[in-house]
Structure 1
Amino acid sequence: MASFPNVYTHRKVSETSSKACEICYKPSTSVLVTPENKDFFYVCAGHLKDRVFCTPIIDEAAVAAKKKKAMEAEVERVKLEFEEKQKKQKEKEKEKGKDKEKNEKDAKAEDKKKLEEVEAEAIVVEDEPRVFVLKKAFYQQRINKKRQAEVARRNRERLQNPNLFPQVPKNIS
């Protein structure tokens, strides 16, 4: 049996699909999966933070892109706030009329909507699947478990084969 790479992707499953953690046997909805689904196991989210169990592989480009997007959203929010303050100052300087108040209220409502949209975009965080590398002892344990399962499967298949057992001699004189 070919071994699988020591790269596991963290996935979440539904509460109804939760199974026992491979380490502490508590119900867990977190699953670590290898590429091409050659190996998977359930693990508590707390174990993923344990440096003795595994270490995360951090994608620097994705982190930089998230920071850049957050910075752009913050700049947009500050610009909208500044424009809103400028409009308020102009309001104080101008004459107050009913027609102008209606237009200003409409403009304020539009600005608030834009501000809420920008804030909503900043709040939405795209959760990318996190990638982990197991420590040597845990990875070796996973390989051994897979090998034992493969040997057990082969043994079951052999026992199903009727030619495995010797036959009673037929030509005894």
Structure 2
Amino acid sequence: MAFPFPNTWHLRRVADSSAKACYICYKPSTSVMITPDNKDYFYVCPSHLKDKNFCSPVVDSEDQAAKQKQEAMAREIEKVKKEYEEKQQKKKQKDKEKNSSDKSKDKNDDQSKKDDDADEKERDQKIESIKKSESDNPSTPPDDSPRVFTLHRNFYQMRIDRLRNAEAAKRNRQRMQDPSFFPSVPTKGI
């Protein structure tokens, strides 16, 4: 028995103005489940996607590897930011101690201005590198929900039956339009 389409469904989102009734609860929904070959689709609420009796997510190892890489990059950025802030605090404390202990403030002021300029340049470079790495990654928050699902066998069978019934109804309509479908009136009298 060949199935008309595989049990693989991709989750897509539509605009709020295009929301239609959910296949399960009939509430308006903007989430659409569609087959890869676009043969069948239906609207479903995001809450139903978490129901294990309705569908189960297909785990993609490439997506997981990309997410882990992105998380590692974010942790590295946070680490660099913390180190930089700690450095700045230490320098400020050192400068305060230096200024209080030295009697010649003019020399220290010139030196601290030079240090501040160097620190400012270093800070700007780090900020630019962080912004560059963030611009490489999209600024929109990634959607952690899975994108590919397989339906529970009962729901999958319901979708197949619906498709078969629609095809049968189409064939019946075409047959009804054909004049040879109906029997002819008898021509011989009684």
Answer whether TM exceeds 0.5 for this pair. Answer: yes
Q: Secondary structure at the match of 1:9?
A: strand
Which residue in 2 is equivalent to 1:7? Answer: 8
1:106-117 to structure 2, matched below 5 A, reads: 106-115=121-130
* 1:101 equivalent in alignment to 2:102: no
Unmatched 5+ stretches in structure 2 = 99-107
Q: TM-score, normalised by structure 2?
A: 0.74
> Which deviates more from structure 2 when the two are superposed, residues 133-142 or residues 75-84?
75-84
* 1:148 equivalent in alignment to 2:190: no
Q: Tell me if structure 1 keeps the 8 A contact 2:5–2:39.
A: yes
Larger of the two Rg values belongs to structure: 2
Per-residue deviation at 1:99? 4.8
Cα-to-partner distance string for 1:95-127 (whole Å, 9 max, x where unaligned): 443454344334434434544555674964444
Which residue in 1 is equivalent to 2:36? Answer: 35
Q: TM-score, normalised by structure 1?
A: 0.80
Percent pairwise identity = 41
Q: Secondary structure at the match of 1:11?
A: strand
Which residue in 1 is equivalent to 2:152? Answer: 135
Which residue in 1 is equivalent to 2:54? Answer: 53
> Which deviates more from structure 2 when the two are superposed, residues 32-41 or residues 124-133?
124-133
> Which deviates more from structure 2 when the two are superposed, residues 85-94 or residues 17-26?
85-94
Pick the aligned partner of 1:159 from 161, 166, 176.
176
Q: Aligned residue pairs: how many?
A: 172
Q: Tell me if structure 1 keeps the 8 A contact 2:56–2:152.
A: yes
Q: 1:22 to 1:46 in 2, by over 3 A?
A: same
Which residue in 2 is equivalent to 1:77? Answer: 78
Q: Secondary structure at the match of 2:12?
A: strand
Unmatched 5+ stretches in structure 1 = none
